[in-house]
Chains A and B, each alone.
Chain A
Amino acid sequence: DIVMTQTPLSSPVTLGQPASISCRSSQSLVYSDGNTYLSWLQQRPGQPPRLLFYKTSNRFSGVPDRFSASGAGTDFTLEIRRVEAEDVGVYYCMQSIQFPRTFGQGTKLEIK
């Protein structure tokens, strides 16, 4: 199985300040079609996960543009330009290049 490793596991951030989450995969997520199959999800407290980005950096409908995602190969990053209170929750990366699909352990974003 592809192991997804996120850092940090916890991220206390001041409102209005930026935040960054890293995700590393144990194998390259680049498929033969040239696409990189990495997505990011947000799970607010008590809520189901919500898709933020797919194929590394494609923003899903309704996701604020203060969120951005980038990366290549085995190293990926989710950034929030200015954290707002509604961004509190756990963020997961997920690979979909190989079965079984696997998720990172999750990064808990909290307000200082």
Chain B
Amino acid sequence: QVQLQESGPGLVKPSETLSLTCTVSGGSINNHYWSWIRQPPGKGLEWIGYIFNDGGSPKYNPSLKSRLTMSVDTSKTQFSLKLSSVTAADTAVYYCARGHGAGYLDYWGQGTLVTVSS
């Protein structure tokens, strides 16, 4: 059974960089689109972006693209998200998920709440 687990600080100061890592277990990291989605408290889902296992040509949501960096470390079966210059609007539960070529997201992590506050 594929499992994903997010990790990273739960509190980030405004203007700083939010950094999260997702560790994949129980399955190969190859041939999948490793994705990030977020959900502000009490609100709906927002697709952040994905990176393929070879690390090339990540796809980012244009609304976040200028502040986003994604990377993948296949040796550790991990992929990561960095979001710079955060504001309170970036406060959300951040999920990592496995994506397929058809775009659907079949396995999700439990999510981690990141709060942006001084």
Known: A49-B95, A49-B108. A54 touches B47 (CB 8 A): no
Contact B63 A54 (CB under 8 A): no
Known: A48-B95, A48-B111, A49-B95. A100 touches B106 (CB 8 A): no
* A interface, CB within 8 angstroms of B: 35, 37, 39, 41, 48-51, 54-55, 60, 92, 94-97, 99-106
How far is B110's CA from A49's CA once the two chains are assembled, in angstroms?
A: 9
Of A37, A49, A50, A97, most buried by chain B (CB within 10 Å of CB) is A49
A-B contact pairs, 17 of them (CB 8 A): A37-B102, A37-B104, A39-B103, A49-B37, A49-B95, A49-B105, A50-B108, A51-B105, A54-B102, A55-B104, A100-B47, A100-B63, A101-B103, A104-B44, A105-B44, A106-B44, A106-B45
Determine how close the nearest CB of chain A comes to the CB of B30; give it in whole angstroms. 20
